[in-house]
Structure 1
Amino acid sequence: MYNKADVINLILNLYGASPMKQVFKHLHGLREKEKEIVHVGQANFPVTPAEIHEVIKEFKETPFYKDGWTLVILGWDWAPDTFERARDLWEMQDVKLKLLHIPPVGKLDEVMKKYKLDLSKVANFEYAFDEEVRKHLRFIEPGYVWLEVREDGLKVEIEIKDFWVRLPHGYEELEEEIRRRIKEARSDKEKQKYFLPLINYWAVDWNYDGEVFKHDFVSFDKKLGEGRVRVKASHTYERPGTYRVVVKITDIFGGEYIRRRDIKRDYS
């Protein structure tokens, strides 16, 4: 297996970034034209919210943050809930953040062999990946769910505003096309047309006890990929208090996404 420095440089080169001239603990490269600073996650470990927090902390101490650059985190794998929690982090800390999934190791090896690429030359930036190679090795946005929570007195309503799951390898171009259409959609109904078929079912526990998840609300596709799940769930609590709400979404490939939120309700 390649050493850590070679792997980082390989990924930077593939992404079109150059190594940092200064020495940082977490910041590995930059793309000057795009005004991006790049962090490459470890090959054998998933990127976690704690890791993202440390990278953001170091990034905010640099002139790049003050000049409005974007922080890009490239990961081989992601700990559960990472994308959603990272979204909260960058909103709280006023950071432009982009998370992208690195192409699988097997695919990297396959393409390197097919095009007879020398790792040492790639890692030392003696060779730059051309577009013919890059089209086989795309950096894809990891899956996530965006929920909107509306509160009115003792009533709470949750709506799925956007949902995304990485498609199986080989569908990268379709994935990019669907994401483009979702971003360009002018209405919620247009967006739903693209993301609802990716949801198998979702459920809500309106008062999670920390041990057993109760399916207080459930909506599912009777026919896989039909896109007929309901996007809204609502509940009215009997009395004021603080409640932990947990939402589980299962995609059509069997992946599970979990969001937790503490809600304090009163009569106002």
Structure 2
Amino acid sequence: MGLFPAVLEEAKRKGIDLAPKTIPPEVFDKRAVDKGQVRFHEVAYIEIKPRLDANNPLRVTVELTDFSVFYSQGLAESITAELRAGKSEVLCDAGKLIKVSKDKNGTVTREVLTRQWTDWVDYWAVDFDYESRKEIIQVPKNFGVEGELPGLAVTTEFIEFQEQWTGSYIFENEWQSFRTRKSRELELTSAAHEYPAPGRYTVAVKVVDIFGNDTMSLTPVVVG
């Protein structure tokens, strides 16, 4: 996930329009595959607004203003048909979470559970300076040069490692808001963050939806 928004930003700078898709869990459901019910939908969309403090040019708050999804299980009709009388099921259809119930007489009712975009958000967090910490890994110095994989080459020499940047950054949770069983309220504006110096920074926002899927978005901000 850390590399994904960086790829989109790089493509945007080069004038390339990417349309990323999510891989749905239905690809592992043979029934859905056989019936042609697997759909690859766009990834969730996050909209945020960094707001500069009028009294302090180095201080910023971040507001989460929209979160859009288009999840669909593709099994709505079959689930409804197989539903037993007196039972209910919760399913996703066209970006909405729906509770389907069938009474003892076989009458089916549908109740939309997600009425506004905030209903999808379970947790969101902000990294006010996303590019401040690169993701560094240890790789063998000769890895990929002589065509030998570490651990497979027959050698008595000690394998030396070196640090290498993956091209991604590490998301650091500097502020967060989430729902709990006792409190379903969600703050949509972060606490204020003050930068150490004027300049251009990259704000990263990560949103986790009610199914545990996370999406991240990057937004530049200039302070000072």
TM-score range, shorter-chain basis? 0.3 to 0.5
Task: Return the structure number with greater relative CO, CA threshold 8 A, min gap 6.
Answer: 2
TM-score (norm 1): 0.42
Counting helix residues as a fraction of each chain, which structure ranks higher? 1
- Point out the structure with max Rg over C-alpha: 2
State the TM-score, normalized to the length of structure 2: 0.48
Determine which structure has the larger strand proportion and give its number. 2
